[in-house]
Structure 1
Amino acid sequence: MSNTDQFMQITGCMNRDLARRYIRKSGGFLDLAIDNYYNHENPAASSGTSMKQIPQRQAVEELNKVFDRYAEHANPNQMDIDGTIAYFTDLGIDPEKDVEAIIAAYTLESPSTGVFTRDAFVKNWAKVNATNAEDMSRYLHQAKHNSKLMDLVNKFAFKYALEEGKRKLAVEDAVALWRVIYNDDFAKIQEPSTMSIFINDFVASGKSGKESISMDEWNMSRLFFSIPLPELEHLSEDAAWPVLMDDFVDFLYQRE
């Protein structure tokens, strides 16, 4: 399959000339072309290009029927953890591994882990014209290529995973969450990266000395992970990075 065909299949873009233009501007790099497409196009609209447009009333009716299949018996306006697991299974999503589960929680305004409400479910899926499992799954898969959206999902994920009354994530919870959010990146790694060494060799191993991760450390990690390993040696000590990131650079280059 050509880069153009792959681009169109992943993004739902129906314009072959537009697809070729994004690939050409990205130097032939497919992942970069997809990322640029989502950063310049409306993600909801781009999803809709490959879906049949459905009248609002019909969409609401269909979405209520979908929700009914997974709703609690005691509270038909809420989907509990068992219903959510069944829902994700039907979407082909593993909530223990796939970032699409976190994107769904963000998109559908989940109030707590494993819980969805009828109003938010119907309202938000109707906005993007996704009324069945196939369209929902496609939307979530496409959304993870939108870097601006993923910045928001990343910030949401920290608060979503916090225990009630806590302000920091336990290290083991942060590591597990990072591994879900960056699951695709881990799968594509062919050599060590800033992200993989930071998460696996520094934090998860206990060498960071941290027992918990703050919101600032979490939010800054996304930008930090984008820095190529060779550039970390010259990272300015005057830059406003959390101490955890400075400690990682010292660890990496065995500085005293």
Structure 2
Amino acid sequence: MDSLSRRQKSKVRRMISEAHVSESEAIRLLKANNWNHAKALQESQSSTSSIIPKPPVTPQYSKLDDLFDQYKNKETGKIDPMGIQSFFRDIDVDIMDILSLIVCWKINARSLAEIPRDVFVQGWKNLGCDSIDSMKKQMPAFRKSIENEQNFEKFYQFLFDFAKENPDYRFLKVPEASALWSVILQSRFDLLDDWLEFLEKNPKLTITKDAWNLLLDFSKTVSKDLSNYDETAAWPSIIDDFVEYVQEKQKK
């Protein structure tokens, strides 16, 4: 800045202060505008505004109430099974696919029999979605989320209460539990077919929360040939009985 006149140096300092630019940029702007401070400042502001990213579009959560109204049963004020099927169809999710269960987990729905307004609206609001399109865009990430073992465990544990026929029950009936296991433990449990067969032959059994949770541990830690099964470990009796069943099958 030594080659500049006192007046030019003053303009440079003023430009640095007002435009929040470096000394070299202040000189460049002033020279480009024939040392006209007002024009140089205007160019600086115009240049800065052009590189500032536009703020993200804020979801309009009032749309969620309107969306809920499209699917709700007018008599109950809740989304019933027919409305749930329509909703999943609109977001391109097969209700028989595990993704439908993941969606319920993500929005914290308590049942596939009905979804009340507060659960639907707050659930999707928490996920930053306010339209069918924005929900559709989340589906690949939803599906991928359970590839993480900790997430899968949370998802798995959520499903016990979700699937209960009556929220006051402390157990799942075999048909309910089997239907879920056949979907969620595919490719995760080497003995899944044997387990489902065992349950089919013992339909009066009930599945406690402890048995539900520990089956996941069993599926991850015990080998298909049961060679590392520890009879002294505190497995639920239903799992002990299952091991005996498989061992008898393997002897034949």
Q: Which TM bucket (shorter chain)? A: 0.5 to 0.7
Unaligned 5+ segments in structure 1 are 1-51, 187-191
1:135 matched residue in structure 2: 137
Q: Does 1:151 align with 2:153?
A: yes
Which residue does 1:216 correspond to in 2?
Answer: 210
- 1:94 matches 2:94: yes
Partner residue of 1:161? 163
| Aligned-partner residue type, residue 99 of structure 2 | E
Separation of aligned partners in 1, 2:143 and 2:212: 23
Indicate the SS of the match to 1:179. helix
Change (3 A) 1:228 1:91: farther
What aligned pairs does 1:18-37 form with structure 2 within 5 A after superposition?
none
CA–CA distance in 2 between the matches of 1:87 and 1:148? 28
Aligned to 1:202: 198
Instruction: Confirm whether residue 174 of structure 1 aligns to residue 177 of structure 2.
Output: yes
What is the CA-CA distance between 1:231 and the residue it aligns to?
6.1
1:115 aligns with 2:118: no
Provide the C-alpha distance between the structure 2 equivalents of 1:244 and 1:162, rounded to a whole number of angstroms. Answer: 19
Q: For residue 244 of structure 1, what is the aligned residue in structure 2?
A: 238
Q: Larger radius of gyration, structure 1 or 2?
A: 2
Alignment of 1:124 onto 2:156: no
Instruction: Provide TM-score, normalisation by structure 2.
Output: 0.65
> Where does structure 1 differ by over 4 angstroms across 4 or more consecutive aligned residues?
none
Tell me the CA shift for residue 140 of structure 1. Answer: 2.7
- Percent same amino acid among aligned pairs? 25
Give the SS at the match of 1:237: coil
| Other-structure match for 1:44 | none
Q: Greater relative contact order: 1 or 2 (C-alpha under 8 angstroms, separation 6 or more)?
A: 1
Partners of 2:233 and 2:120 lie apart in 1 by: 41
Counterparts of 1:125 and 1:229, CA distance in 2? 40
1:70, 1:83 within 8 Å by CA — same for their partners in 2?
yes
What's the offset of the Cα at 1:86?
0.3
Residue 190 of structure 2: aligned partner: 193
Hey, what does 1:47 align to over in structure 2? none
Deviation at 1:230, TM superposition (A): 4.5
Give the paired residue count.
192
Which runs of no fewer than 5 residues in structure 2 stay unpaired?
1-54
Structure 1 pair 209–121 and aligned structure 2 pair: CA distance change class (3 A): closer
- One-letter amino acid of the structure 2 residue matched with residue 143 of structure 1: S
The RMSD of aligned alpha carbons is 2.8
3-state DSSP class of the match of 1:79? coil
Q: Is the 8 A contact 2:222 2:229 kept in 1?
A: no
